[in-house]
Structure 1
Amino acid sequence: MPMATPLQVSCPQCRQPTLYGPDNPWRPFCSARCRGLDLGAWASESYRVPASGSSDTGSSDTGGSGDAAGEPPATGDGTRH
């Protein structure tokens, strides 16, 4: 069976053309540097999936009625979540 030619794709980090195949150990990235930059972005939570259908518009980072010990604010029925 003939060997398939590797697919040429754009590196997700720098957009340079790179080969997506077994000869590229960093696929789909073009280099270890781009792969590491992408991993760092995931680790620092730079990539976020937007929430949909959430009725909670507040965030624990913005304060609220939680106590000083870091407890979440009480809900309408007096319980904590």
Structure 2
Amino acid sequence: MSGPTDKVTPLRPRRACPECGRPTERATYPFCSTRCKDIDLNRWLSGAYVIPARDDEQDEDGIPSNQDSES
């Protein structure tokens, strides 16, 4: 039987902050601090995180996105 002085095993290991690699904090998860959280937000707002797109992709209606529809 375990006593109250036994260490509690965490359910999963703590993840590293995606900005600096330090252990994360609960209040700012998945970051370690408000500073790292704000750095990431700034990157999103400034357009540093962009999903590349190809010009030859078609829209949902089957018309290529780089051509104007003539009616």
- Give the TM-score band, short-chain normalised: 0.5 to 0.7
Instruction: Identify unmatched segments of 5+ residues in structure 1.
Output: 57-74
Equivalent residue, structure 2, for 1:37:
39
Moved over 4 A (4+): none
Aligned length: 54
Q: Which runs of 5+ in 2 are unaligned?
A: 1-7, 58-67
Structure 1 or 2: larger strand share? 1
In 1: Cα distance, 2:37 partner to 2:49 partner: 15
Q: CA RMSD, aligned part only?
A: 2.8
Post-superposition CA distance 1:25-49 (Å, at most 9, x none): 1001000000000000000011111
Q: Which residue in the other structure is 2:18 paired with?
A: 12
Q: How do 1:1-81 and structure 2 match up within 5 A?
A: 5=10, 7-16=13-22, 18-19=23-24, 24-52=26-54, 54-55=55-56
